């Protein structure tokens, strides 16, 4: 059986090095690290894209930024290329209300996952990506555009697979 192909959205890299000490954030950090452990153990085939690395460049702490980017090589995460089709699909997600206009990169994360036929995206972006409204709207758009459904999961949900 093939390993599930997963897309790691930006929050997966940032939460790996989460510094906030509140219990909630530390629990999320632990879940993210468990997902990375599963990647290292060979359970998943991991991918990311320029959309994530561009967002990582916005991290003001240079050491944290470099550590987050280093995870890509350390865990053998493959890089997906941008495409006109992913851009078109991302625009449809926004047009259909799956994603607010102000967050085109979040739409692009989902679109590049879909266009490349990955199984699911893993995200801690509860505001725009890993939320029921987005999941339902993306499912509708993908079906209409003849793409198969793509899972959108929180790290805790991936640990249950």
What are the boundaries of each domain within the chain? 5-155
Map 67-95 to HEC letters: HHHHHHHHCCCEEECCCHHHHHHHHHHHH
Residue position matching structure tokens 């209409």 = 144
- Residue-wise pLDDT for 21-73, tens only, equals 999 999 999 999 999 999 999 999 999 999 999 999 999 999 999 999 999 99
Could you tell me which of 42, 38, 147 has the C-alpha nearest to residue 88? 147
CATH of domain 5-155: 3.40.50.1010
- Residue-wise pLDDT for 2-20, tens only, equals 899 999 999 999 999 999 9
- Residue-wise pLDDT for 97-128, tens only, equals 999 999 999 999 999 999 999 999 999 999 99
Q: What's the pLDDT score for residue 1?
A: 61
């Amino acid at each position: 059986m093939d390993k599930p192909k997963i897309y790691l959205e930006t929050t997966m890299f940032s939460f790996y090095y989460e510094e906030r000490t509140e219990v909630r954030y530390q629990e999320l950090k632990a879940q993210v690290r468990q997902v990375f452990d599963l990647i290292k153990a060979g359970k998943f085939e991991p991918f990311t894209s320029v959309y994530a690395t561009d967002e990582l460049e916005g991290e003001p702490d240079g050491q944290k930024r470099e550590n987050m980017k280093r995870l890509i090589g350390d865990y053998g995460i493959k890089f997906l290329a941008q495409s006109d089709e992913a851009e078109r699909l991302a625009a449809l997600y926004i047009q259909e209300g799956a994603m607010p206009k102000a967050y085109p990169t979040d739409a692009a994360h989902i679109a590049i996952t879909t266009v490349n036929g990955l199984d699911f995206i893993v995200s801690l972006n509860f505001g725009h990506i890993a939320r029921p409204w987005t999941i339902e709207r993306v499912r509708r758009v993908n079906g209409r555009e003849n793409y198969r459904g793509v899972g959108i999961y929180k790290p805790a949900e991936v640990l249950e697979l």
